A and B are shown apart, each in its own frame.
Chain A
């Protein structure tokens, strides 16, 4: 009687041991980044690096020196680049998420309720958009944004937040429409008809009846759009100038310096990684759905 039990136990030990190993491999590099960001430069370079060290917030203070409410004592020269880039990143990601959601929501509603383009068209567009590498958009966007889309003499879209927001909105729209239309399909038409009966017009029906019902879809779409705008490097690097740069651009620029201060860089990387990490904990299931958008039924 006891023999099969031990066999099972052995299988259990193997199974959970294996699972723990996978978790360690998956999280290891992220934890290493976190630990490095909490170390002083001397600790990182020293030969006797150990797991035991005195964690310090100094690297974060260096990165954020110009937006902290106090002046960190160890910072001799406050480099405002990172603080400014953080503000730029937040602004660009938030605004492009907002616009994408509003436009995408309206379009998805139009497609579903007015039986416009078929579901196949939306899926195919989403897939085709997913296929386009950002590198491919580099040449045309650079050319158009700096020469064609200009207002007056020297004011062009290149270098402005508006320019980068426009391209992020366009990049994300097909996906957002795809994911939202599957949610809108589930809104019972009777609900809308009742509102209609009470004298609401099409726009009131949309904003007051449909929008509240599809909140989960909106959340998933928002997470995706925000993440792409927040993480994107290539187009931001080509389009933005010194004062409008986002965090990924400044991060890569600081890597070309001779004497890399790993603590400070890892602190910046951590700051860049925190929003996506939070999103992952909120909505892991929707993220997987989103990653297969257009290829599977939504």
Chain B
């Protein structure tokens, strides 16, 4: 049954292939006309800049120079960065931020989904409410949290004071700044994991759950042995997407702490932006960008390969089912 449903669209597209040449044969150039504008924009405003950046990372270049006036220094930007303690610290702050944020969001998001897994009336309204934090400009999210973290007018310290507790130096203390920034990100992005895993949970095959219930599995056994393994593909994708985005976070931290105090919250994106505008070392900033891109490329390709493997496994299963049936 399943395999039949899945193969029908393919047949249709086969027919489409045979149709296409006869259909548009009057003008072979038509497809190029359709693709040209998008292709041109992507080439000029995306491929060219990225190529330019790779080239610039081998230069000692400051913003007052034209690029052809800059000196070629080979790999020195890259080796200098590896020796630069500030860059290393910023790199580890980024790793710490990304890993903590993604772990927390996964645990809380999936936990909430498991806890709230039942038919909810008005789910679409709830979904809308939970998406709001992700849609609002990151600048505004930073602004809201900066206000809440404010030492005297902020609601958090006012509440603490009301309870007779000591105020917390949310953003001004190097030990508190990173947790504060993490809290803001968790607030903004946990709903993403929650919504995706709730959708995955509610589309699980009911037969497996029922079978386990008949076999007398407890709620916990059901979660660990059936629900989580079946949700795993979705969870891995959601986690990887969050990981990519966590490396891109910039505006929220810029508004909250601007990387301070000291370097305690200076993630790589922020350091690139500061190296460009404050230290005026464009070549170094480009080399830094390349390190960051390389890291993200590995994660993205990992995700792409994972998708491919899942696809192939599904196809194998389908083929096996077809042979059997």
8 Å CB interface, B283-305 against A: 285-286, 289, 292-293, 296-297, 299-300, 303-304
Closest Cβ of chain A: how far from B169's Cβ, in Å?
18
- Give which listed residue, B52, B131, B140, B199, contacts A273 with CB less than 8 A: B140
Select the stretch in B33-41, B174-182, B213-221, B223-231 that faces chain A.
B33-41
The verdict on A79 contacting chain B, using a C-beta distance below 8 Å, is no
Contacting residues, chain B, for A174 (C-beta < 8 A): 42
Known: A114-B24, A131-B297, A139-B286. A107 touches B273 (CB 8 A): no
8 Å CB interface, A13-50 against B: 15, 18-19, 22-23, 25-27, 29-30, 32-33, 36, 44-45, 49
In the complex, residue of chain B having the shortest beta-carbon distance to the beta carbon of A186: B9
Assembly CA distance A191 to B131 (angstroms) = 37
B276 touches A238 (CB 8 A): yes
8 Å CB interface, B24-51 against A: 24, 27, 30-35, 37-39, 41-42, 44-46, 48-50
In the complex, residue of chain A having the shortest beta-carbon distance to the beta carbon of B47: A170
Give how many A residues have a beta carbon under 8 Å from the other chain's beta carbons. Answer: 92
Closest Cβ of chain B: how far from A232's Cβ, in Å?
8
Give how many B residues have a beta carbon under 8 Å from the other chain's beta carbons. Answer: 99
Contacting residues, chain B, for A114 (C-beta < 8 A): 20, 24, 30-31, 34
A279 touches B153 (CB 8 A): no
8 Å CB interface, B116-149 against A: 116, 118, 120, 124, 126-141, 143-148
A136 touches B24 (CB 8 A): no
The verdict on A258 contacting chain B, using a C-beta distance below 8 Å, is no
Closest Cβ of chain B: how far from A200's Cβ, in Å?
12
B56 touches A143 (CB 8 A): yes
Contacting residues, chain A, for B128 (C-beta < 8 A): 280-281, 284
A202 touches B187 (CB 8 A): no
A140 touches B30 (CB 8 A): no
In the complex, residue of chain A having the shortest beta-carbon distance to the beta carbon of B241: A295
The verdict on B97 contacting chain A, using a C-beta distance below 8 Å, is no
The verdict on A68 contacting chain B, using a C-beta distance below 8 Å, is no
Contacting residues, chain A, for B196 (C-beta < 8 A): 288, 292
Interface centre among B129, B139, B251 (most CB of A within 10 A): B139
Task: Give the number of residue pairs across the A-B interface with Cβ within 8 Å.
Answer: 268
The verdict on B248 contacting chain A, using a C-beta distance below 8 Å, is yes
B53 touches A140 (CB 8 A): yes
Assembly CA distance A107 to B43 (angstroms) = 14
A280 touches B132 (CB 8 A): yes
A262 touches B129 (CB 8 A): no
Contacting residues, chain B, for A49 (C-beta < 8 A): 153, 158
B289 touches A135 (CB 8 A): yes
Known: A110-B31, A166-B44, A238-B276. A287 touches B148 (CB 8 A): no
Known: A19-B126, A110-B34. A136 touches B293 (CB 8 A): yes
Contacting residues, chain A, for B143 (C-beta < 8 A): 33, 251, 255, 265-266, 269
The verdict on A241 contacting chain B, using a C-beta distance below 8 Å, is no
B292 touches A133 (CB 8 A): yes
B289 touches A136 (CB 8 A): yes
Interface string of B182-196 (1 = CB under 8 A from A): 000001000110011
Contacting residues, chain B, for A127 (C-beta < 8 A): 300, 303-304
Interface centre among A25, A138, A280 (most CB of B within 10 A): A138
Closest Cβ of chain A: how far from B202's Cβ, in Å?
14
Interface string of A273-285 (1 = CB under 8 A from B): 1001101110011
Contacting residues, chain B, for A287 (C-beta < 8 A): 131, 135
- Give which listed residue, A107, A177, A238, A296, contacts B277 with CB less than 8 A: A238
A135 touches B300 (CB 8 A): no
Contacting residues, chain B, for A279 (C-beta < 8 A): 135
The verdict on B240 contacting chain A, using a C-beta distance below 8 Å, is yes
The verdict on B106 contacting chain A, using a C-beta distance below 8 Å, is no
Interface centre among B56, B129, B255, B285 (most CB of A within 10 A): B129
B144 touches A30 (CB 8 A): yes
Assembly CA distance A279 to B131 (angstroms) = 11
B282 touches A104 (CB 8 A): no
Assembly CA distance A147 to B155 (angstroms) = 47
In the complex, residue of chain A having the shortest beta-carbon distance to the beta carbon of B296: A131
The verdict on A65 contacting chain B, using a C-beta distance below 8 Å, is no
Known: A173-B42, A231-B139. A32 touches B155 (CB 8 A): yes
- Give which listed residue, A132, A142, A252, A285, contacts B254 with CB less than 8 A: A252
The verdict on A103 contacting chain B, using a C-beta distance below 8 Å, is yes
- Give which listed residue, B46, B144, B247, contacts A32 with CB less than 8 A: B144
The verdict on A83 contacting chain B, using a C-beta distance below 8 Å, is no
Contacting residues, chain A, for B83 (C-beta < 8 A): none
A18 touches B116 (CB 8 A): yes
8 Å CB interface, B76-112 against A: 112
Known: A144-B49, A248-B139, A276-B135. A133 touches B118 (CB 8 A): no
Q: What are 26 residue pairs bridging A and B, where the CB atoms are less than 8 Å apart in the complex?
A: A19-B126, A32-B144, A106-B33, A110-B35, A113-B20, A130-B300, A135-B248, A135-B269, A136-B50, A137-B49, A139-B53, A139-B276, A142-B276, A169-B41, A189-B23, A234-B273, A252-B139, A252-B255, A255-B143, A269-B143, A276-B137, A281-B128, A284-B128, A287-B131, A288-B195, A291-B134
Interface residues of chain A, those whose CB is within 8 Å of chain B, are 15, 18-19, 22-23, 25-27, 29-30, 32-33, 36, 44-45, 49, 102-104, 106-107, 109-111, 113-116, 123-124, 127-144, 147, 166-167, 169-171, 173-174, 177, 189, 192-193, 196, 202, 206, 227, 230-231, 233-234, 238, 248, 251-252, 255, 262, 265-266, 269, 272-273, 276-277, 279-281, 284-285, 287-288, 291-292, 295-296
Q: A137-B49, A206-B34 are in contact. List 4 more A-B contacts (CB 8 A).
A: A135-B289, A230-B137, A255-B255, A276-B136
